[in-house]
Amino acid sequence: MIPSRLWALAALVALAVVPWVLARHQLSLLTDLLIAGLFAMSLDLIMGYTGMVSFGHAAYFGLGAYASALVLLHFAQPVPVALLAGALLAGAVAVPVGWFSTRATGIYFAMLTLAFAQFLYTVAYKWRDLTGGSDGIAGVPKTALFWGGPSLTSPHAFYFVVATCVVVSLFVCLAVVRSPFGRALQAIRENERRFTSLGRDPRPFKLVVFVIAAAFAGLAGALFAPFRGFASPEVMFWVFSGQGLMMVIMGGIGTLVGPILGAMLFILIQEVLSSYTEHWMIFTGVVFVLIVIFLPGGLVGTARRLGARA
Amino acid sequence: MTPLLETRELGRAFGALQAVAGVNLAVQPMELRAVIGPNGAGKTTLFHLISGLLAPTSGRVIFRGDDVTALAAPARCRRGISRTFQITSIFPELSVLENVRVAVQLKAGDNFRLLGGRSVLEASEQRARDSLRLLGLIDRADELASTLPHGDQRLLEIAMAVAQEPELLLLDEPTQGLSPEDTVATVGVIRQVARERKLTIILVEHDMDVVFDLADRISVLHFGQLIAEGTAAEVRANADVQKAYLGGLD
């Protein structure tokens, strides 16, 4: 079995080298894949590690996108300021939502997160003065990395900003799930009543991880807005939340890396097939079903199982 | 000597059903007390009331001289009351070691270390290994809890509670579902744990034979009420107890 450190090194090298061999539109697609990967990875924190299936995670991606778009468009701040704003807004909104939603568990938690997300979607849709309504906010600039720096208009420059964010986020999340806090989350996932009788109320743990997950989703959204040049209500719609769940399951729930790969697979299928047919979702559905039935644990879960056997 | 745990007129009603009524218990430090009674006598409800998973509808729970009636289950655990469940309650997809380690960590604190925290992990792992050694599960530390046979899962749950170094350990039918041989082994382990860790134990049992040679004192519940209390010999000779067990109410 190849040690995971070697895999990590290979992935880092690939991320650094690949942009120099890819065509412009391919690099743009890879950037898209990474942003979706960050979104799916953040969902895995609550879904895979804590057992909280949120059906409203897109809302935090959207909040990050809007915050980032507004900061870049109206205040012309450097990109990192916009990223921070996106993560902070998403995390801040997740505090009250999480406070209410974590009172429920299972399907009721899922429905509460969905309800709040659709509420936030409606706000984005209706608050024309701030969000541009259904048109969204267009013309979001890729500003500089720091005050007075050159703008990040070259695809390579922005790709490296995104890749760095995704890699750093992955390592932070890996550290979180291995920390005492992360271990407690996994115990909550396994048996909440046992957790309670062992001396702690699970709710504060759930609230904190919900906010962290939202902040990382917000970061993904904050990268999305300048990269695509717009923020619109669609990215907050429940369909995107549902796709997030599919990405996590396809890639491997509870692995962090898996959901990144799952998101990449998902978007790749969409990209490749949508140029041939508008019914690309049928194909995605088939792949999803095949993975769930034949590759339990998703791509990464299956690979680990095979690796452990070898 | 002041009792470690006292219940005063403790009661719990579910609608019209009085599951536990007016129970007065006094358990001394380092005592091994068994609570027995036929099915539906209110034993598990009494445990939930003592551990805080259920709030009583009447009466009080006094632990180490403090009234803990208003405290929820997590707070009572942190004060020194650890428990197991009648239906095995573990973290199935975590390793045996991690099951016990988390139990230690949750009680000890420092749970919101989001990054690093290696020292927290190592300290709790040490205590978890001690507990697994005591319960004879150390060789299975790295296995998934869900892959253990039923009897070992029952022991694992006890290991989790013991690792928390409680003052009062509540065991809810620890021999439930065990073969006669496993039952004997488990009773032996409980006796050893009580001695080595100097624990006060309250043990709920369905089966009278299990407790007669294990318990210092036995309390008998019947329809939610305490009908007898005393040593094994006293309880065995008690006419009310004989009627409760032999009267076709089981």
Kindly tell me if the per-residue pLDDT of A37 is higher than 60.
yes
**A53: confidence class by pLDDT, cuts 50, 70, 90:** very high
CATH code, domain carrying B8: 3.40.50.300
**A2: confidence class by pLDDT, cuts 50, 70, 90:** low
**B235: confidence class by pLDDT, cuts 50, 70, 90:** confident
Range of the domain at B119: 95-164
Q: Is residue B18 a part of any domain in this protein?
A: yes
Entry pTM = 0.94
Which of A18-27, A85-94, B202-211 is the most confident on average? A85-94
Identify whether residues B36 and B136 lie together within a single domain: no
**B246: confidence class by pLDDT, cuts 50, 70, 90:** low
Chain A residues with CB-CB distance to B93 below 8 A: 190
Q: Residue A89: its pLDDT value, please?
A: 98
* B45 shares contact with chain A (CB less than 8 Å): no
Q: Residue B206: its pLDDT value, please?
A: 77
Q: For residue B64, which of B6, B4, B1 has the smallest C-alpha distance?
A: B4
R_g of chain A, CA atoms, integer Å: 19
Chain B residues with CB-CB distance to A199 below 8 A: 74, 77-78, 106-107, 164
Kindly tell me if the per-residue pLDDT of B149 is higher than 90.
yes
Q: Is residue B60 a part of any domain in this protein?
A: yes
- % of chain B beyond a pLDDT of 90: 73
Kindly tell me if the per-residue pLDDT of B250 is higher than 50.
no
pLDDT in tens, B59-84: 999 999 999 999 999 999 999 999 99
Pair B180, B172: CB distance under 8 Å: no
Q: Residue B249: its pLDDT value, please?
A: 46
Q: Residue B184: its pLDDT value, please?
A: 86
Cβ contact, residue pair A197, B106, below 8 Å: no
State mean pLDDT over A151-178: 94
Kindly tell me if the per-residue pLDDT of B247 is higher than 70.
no
B89: closest chain A residue by CA: A194
State mean pLDDT over B164-180: 92
Identify whether residues B37 and B160 lie together within a single domain: no
B105: closest chain A residue by CA: A180
- % of chain B beyond a pLDDT of 70: 98
Domain layout of chain A by residue ranges:
4-309
**H/E element, B13:** strand B5-14
Q: Is residue B62 a part of any domain in this protein?
A: yes
Rounded Cα–Cα distance for residues B240 and B247 (Å) = 10
Kindly tell me if the per-residue pLDDT of A167 is higher than 50.
yes
Chain B residues with CB-CB distance to A188 below 8 A: none
Chain A residues with CB-CB distance to B115 below 8 A: 172, 175-176, 179
* B131 shares contact with chain A (CB less than 8 Å): no
Encoded tokens for B79: 């004060």
Determine the angle formed by the axes of helices A238-251 and A24-50, rounding to 10 degrees: 80
Identify whether residues B66 and B182 lie together within a single domain: yes
Among B106, B138, B164, the domain-final residue is: B164
Cβ contact, residue pair A197, B98, below 8 Å: no
A150 CB-near residues (< 8 Å, 6+ apart): A144
Q: What is the mean pLDDT of chain A?
A: 94
Q: Is residue B242 a part of any domain in this protein?
A: yes
Query: Looking at CA atoms only, how far is residue A181 from chain B in angstroms?
Result: 5
Tell me the ipTM for this assembly.
Answer: 0.92
Rounded Cα–Cα distance for residues A236 and A239 (Å) = 8
**A146: confidence class by pLDDT, cuts 50, 70, 90:** confident
Identify the residue among B97, B102, B112 best suited for mutation to test binding to A, counting A beta carbons within 10 A and taking the highest: B102
Query: Looking at CA atoms only, how far is residue B161 from chain A in angstroms?
Result: 8
Q: Residue A310: its pLDDT value, please?
A: 66
The alpha helices in chain A, defined as continuous H runs, are 4-17, 24-50, 58-75, 79-101, 106-126, 128-131, 155-178, 180-190, 192-197, 202-228, 238-251, 257-274, 280-294, 298-309
Cβ contact, residue pair B116, A190, below 8 Å: no
Rounded Cα–Cα distance for residues A161 and A227 (Å) = 10
Identify whether residues B76 and B177 lie together within a single domain: yes
